[in-house]
Each structure stands twice: as C-alpha cells, then as structure tokens.
Structure 1
Amino acid sequence: MKVAIVFDSAGTLLYTYRVAMDVRSRKMKTGVESTMLTCSKEGRSLILLYAHSLNIFETPSDTLLSDYMKKEGIKFGIACSNGIVTHEEVSEYLLNDEFARISDLQVCIKKVWNCCKKLPIVAMNSGVIVNRNLKGIEFTITSGGRPFSNAKEAVSDLHKMGVATYVASGDRTDKLVRMADYLGIAHDNIHGVATPSIKAQVIKDLKCEYDTVIMVGDGVNDIPALREADISVLTCQQNKNKPNKLIEAADIIINDVSEIKNIAENAINGRDFKKN
C-alpha cells in the first residue's frame, strides 16, 4: 500500500507566532491566527506578499504600501477569503489603498523577529488582509514559525515506514525549502505559494500515484484539500479553537504531529479509521 502525506506548514509542522496591525486604528494584535482573523468578518481576504523583509526595511517608512508594491512590482497570492474575490479585485484594493504604509509592515516584522531571532530555524512571511467593504487594506500581518519539537522525528518515522511526505503551503517556496532541509523532506515535494485550490489539486494529482493520500492541515484554507484527500487530518497542536466547518471537513483530529505515525501505519495496513 503506497501512502503519501501532505502537510500544511504554519500550525501543522511549524509553531507560528503572528502579529497584525490595524492600519486605520494603528492598534496591534498579537498572537493572532491569520485565517481565523480573516474569516471572522465577511469581505476579508488574506493576501501573502512576495516581498523580502530586508527590501521592506530599506524602504522609507512613510511610503504608502500601495506605492511600494507598484514601484517594486510586488506579486501576491490569495491565501483564503471570507467570500468570493477575484485576483483583479484584490489587485485594485492593494494598488489603490491610501491607508497602509510600509511602517505598518515594518513594525509587524520587527515584533515577530524579536520573538523568533534566536531560533535555529525561522520561516517568516508578511502580507495583508484586504476588506472588500473598506475597498482597501485593513491589516498588515507578519508570521514567524519554527518546527514543532517533535516534527523532525515524526517525518523521519514516516520515511522509515516508506511513507512519502509533501508540503503544500501558501508560504513562499524559498522559506519552505529551508524548513524542508531541517525536516528531511525532498525539495521536489515542496509546493509553495499554494492557494486553497492549488492544495486540493496537489492532493488530486497525488491520488493518481498513491493508494492513499492523507492531508494534514490546521486552518480553513486547508478545507478544499482536506475534502479531496482520502483521509483528512485536522491538527490542533497550536490552537484547539477551530470553526465547525473545519472540524466537519476532518476525518481525524490530532493534538500532536507525532500522532500521524499511527494514522499512516493503519493506512499502510488497510485498516479502517474511525471518523471523528
């Protein structure tokens, strides 16, 4: 029985610390879960900016984020949305926003870096939350993650069992590759800049190659992939407060990444699993 497991990154393989800045009130939110913040109000979309932190810090702090994106040609990806939104619509909000400044992103990056800089492996990403009702940027947001203490051992155990491991995440590929090197996951098995629909397509493609494909995720942006997988696993290792629609999409709920070993073993041996 050929088995493959696809992991999300943040909250699944990585313990992730996030901060968000409300660009209108200038109030900072710490310890937020970006997908939950996005889905808590209709019209919000979580956008990952493909920009390097150093380049952001080299930009004058009073520069409008929209002007910075236009000047530097910054690309972006839609991680998840509360409601249907098009790439063109998001682009209009990003490039015409008159509230968010580079300083709003700089303070988020600095806050996360001060918490994570001493860790041996750190994957940092920055983005924004746009709001259709505001027709612009509502929050700037930065996340920094380090692998869960038992993630490397869990991946190693899976490989010893002959289980193939993959990562499908909205994070930038270069950030994921560094994490993959630490965990022992092949570069060819990394799918970065993966939207919810791309994650689901990764699962669909792997089902043509493997007898059983397991998806492990922790956020609402993983729901399409969870539904596509042969076995869907929701991990609550970082945050146990999950929305009902996410819980309903999962066959199995775990509280520690090491539990995936038993799930894979059952799949290899063709044993039925008990749905939560």
Structure 2
Amino acid sequence: MTVAVVFDSAGTLLKSYRTARDVVAGKTLSGVETTLLTCMDRSRVLIALHASSRDVIAAPPDEYLSTYLCDRSVGFGISCLRQVIPHERLAEILYSDRRALVGDLQVCIRDVWGTLREESLVVMDSGAILNLSLGGIEFTVTAGGRPFEGAKEAIADLHSMGVATFIASGDRAAKLERIADHLGIPRDQVHGIATPSIKAQIVEDLKRCYGTVVMVGDGINDLQAFRKADISILSEQQSNEKPQELCSAADYIVGNVSEVVPIVRDISGREVVSI
C-alpha cells in the first residue's frame, strides 16, 4: 500500500520562535503563536511578505512599512485566514496602511534573531496580520526556527520504507526549500504559502495518488487538512497547549516527530479506509 506523509513546518518539523508587534497598542508579544492569534478574530488575515530580513533591518525605521513595500515592489502570500478575501482587497489594505512602521517589523526580526542566532541552521520569515475591520496592519510578525532533533532521521526512515514525504505550510517557499534540502525532502514536494483550505486540498489531491495520506501538524491551521487525511497526527513537540477541537480531530498525538515513523510503519501494513 502506498503512503504519503504531509508535514506542516513550524512547530512540526521546526522548533519555532515567533514575535508579534501590536502596532495599535505599541506592544511586543514574544513567543506568540501567530496562527492562533490570527484565528482569534475573524477579521484577521496572516500574510507572509516576500522580503529579506537583512533588507528590512537596513531600511529607515520611521518609514511606513507600506511605503517600504511599495517602493521595493515587495509581494505577499496569504498564510492563514478564516474567510475568503480576494487577494486584491488584501493588497489594497496592506499597501495603503498608515499605522505600521518599518521599525515595528524590525523589532520582531531582532527579537527572533536574538533568540536563534546561535543555532547552526536558522530560517526566518516575516509578515503581518491585517485586520479587515481596522482596514490596516494590526500586527507585524516574524517567525524563525531550526529543525527539531530527530526530524532529519525521521524523514530518512520514512523514505527507507518507501513513504513519500511532503511539506505544506503557510511559510514562504524559499524558507521551506532550505528546510527541505536539509531534511532530504524533494523541492517539488514542498508547498509554500498554503492556507488551511489549500493544505486540505493538497491532502485531497494526494489521496488520488496514494492509498493512505497522513497529515502531521501542530496548529489550528492544520484542522481542515486533519479532517481530509486518512490519518491525522498532532505534534505537541513545540507545545502541548492545543485547542480541544484540534485534539479531537487527531487520530494520534505525539511528543516527538520521530514517533511518526512507527505509526506510519504500522499503518503501512494494513488497509486504511477513509470515511
């Protein structure tokens, strides 16, 4: 029986650290879960900016972030949202914002880098949380991470069993490809800027090609994919504080990514019927 395993990245394959800057209140929130922060308000949309952290740090801190993005033609992707919003509408809100400064994003970047700079492999991604009700940027955000110990070995073990591995994440593709190269996952099996609905569609599409599709994730943005997968595995390696709805949707709960291997080994030997 052919098996495919789809991994989320941050919190699942990567030990992540995230910082958000509340632009309205002028407060910095360290160690926050940005997807959960986004899902707390239906008006919020988490976006990933196609911007280099070094370039942002070099820019004038008192410049509007929207001006910086427009002047440099910086694009964005949608990472997490709770309602369908046209890309054009989000672009209008982002590029016309007059709240967030470049300095707000610089605060996030410096906080994450200060925590992770001693790691041998660090990947970072920056973005913002738009608020449709406010009509602008509510938070600037930066996430950084390194592979969990045992992640590379777990992927190698799955490949040795003939299991195909994929990454589906709301992070930028460039960041994910660095992680995929390190872990040994083919780049053409990496899906970046994947919203919850896109993750679910990826799982649905893979079910046409594989006998069993397993989804491994750690956050509420993986819930739709959990419900589409034949087998869902919730990782608590990053944190064991999970919404009950997510726990209820999981077939297995693990504390380490290496625990995915025996689960997949077991289901590879039996027929799984998708209900």
> Shorter-chain TM-score: what band?
over 0.9
Q: How does 1:93-132 map to 2 (within 5 A)?
A: 93-132=93-132
The answer to whether structure 1 residue 56 and structure 2 residue 59 are counterparts is no
Asked if structure 2 preserves the Cα contact closer than 8 Å seen for 1:3 and 1:212, the reply is: yes
**Shift, 1:84, TM fit:** 4.2
- Whole-angstrom CA distance in 2 between matches of 1:202 and 1:271: 21
| Bigger mean CA offset, 196-205 vs 264-273 | 264-273
Q: Which amino acid aligns with 2:143?
A: S
Q: How does 1:1-276 map to 2 (within 5 A)?
A: 1-270=1-270
- Whole-angstrom CA distance in 1 between matches of 2:210 and 2:135: 44
**Shift, 1:56, TM fit:** 1.2
Q: Could you say what secondary structure the match of 2:133 adopts?
A: coil
**Shift, 1:271, TM fit:** 6.2
- Whole-angstrom CA distance in 2 between matches of 1:195 and 1:74: 20
C-alpha distance 88-249 of structure 1, shift in aligned 2 (>3 A): farther
- Whole-angstrom CA distance in 1 between matches of 2:272 and 2:266: 7
- Whole-angstrom CA distance in 2 between matches of 1:79 and 1:187: 19
Q: Could you say what secondary structure the match of 1:200 adopts?
A: helix
Asked if structure 2 preserves the Cα contact closer than 8 Å seen for 1:266 and 1:272, the reply is: no
- Structure 2: runs of 5+ lacking an equivalent: none
- Whole-angstrom CA distance in 2 between matches of 1:222 and 1:101: 31
- Whole-angstrom CA distance in 2 between matches of 1:63 and 1:87: 24
Q: Which amino acid aligns with 1:232?
A: S
Q: Which amino acid aligns with 2:26?
A: R
C-alpha distance 153-78 of structure 1, shift in aligned 2 (>3 A): same
Q: Which amino acid aligns with 1:58?
A: A
Asked if structure 2 preserves the Cα contact closer than 8 Å seen for 1:105 and 1:140, the reply is: yes
Asked if structure 2 preserves the Cα contact closer than 8 Å seen for 1:151 and 1:183, the reply is: yes
Asked if structure 2 preserves the Cα contact closer than 8 Å seen for 1:77 and 1:195, the reply is: no
Asked if structure 2 preserves the Cα contact closer than 8 Å seen for 1:79 and 1:221, the reply is: no
Asked if structure 2 preserves the Cα contact closer than 8 Å seen for 1:12 and 1:217, the reply is: yes
**Shift, 1:166, TM fit:** 0.9
- Structure 1: runs of 5+ lacking an equivalent: none
Equivalences, count: 273
Asked if structure 2 preserves the Cα contact closer than 8 Å seen for 1:44 and 1:83, the reply is: no
How far does the alpha carbon of each residue in 1:88-142 deviate from its partner, in whole angstroms, 9 at most, with x for none?
3322221121110111101111111111112111110001111122111111010
Q: Could you say what secondary structure the match of 2:17 adopts?
A: strand
| Bigger mean CA offset, 77-86 vs 105-114 | 77-86
- Whole-angstrom CA distance in 1 between matches of 2:198 and 2:80: 12
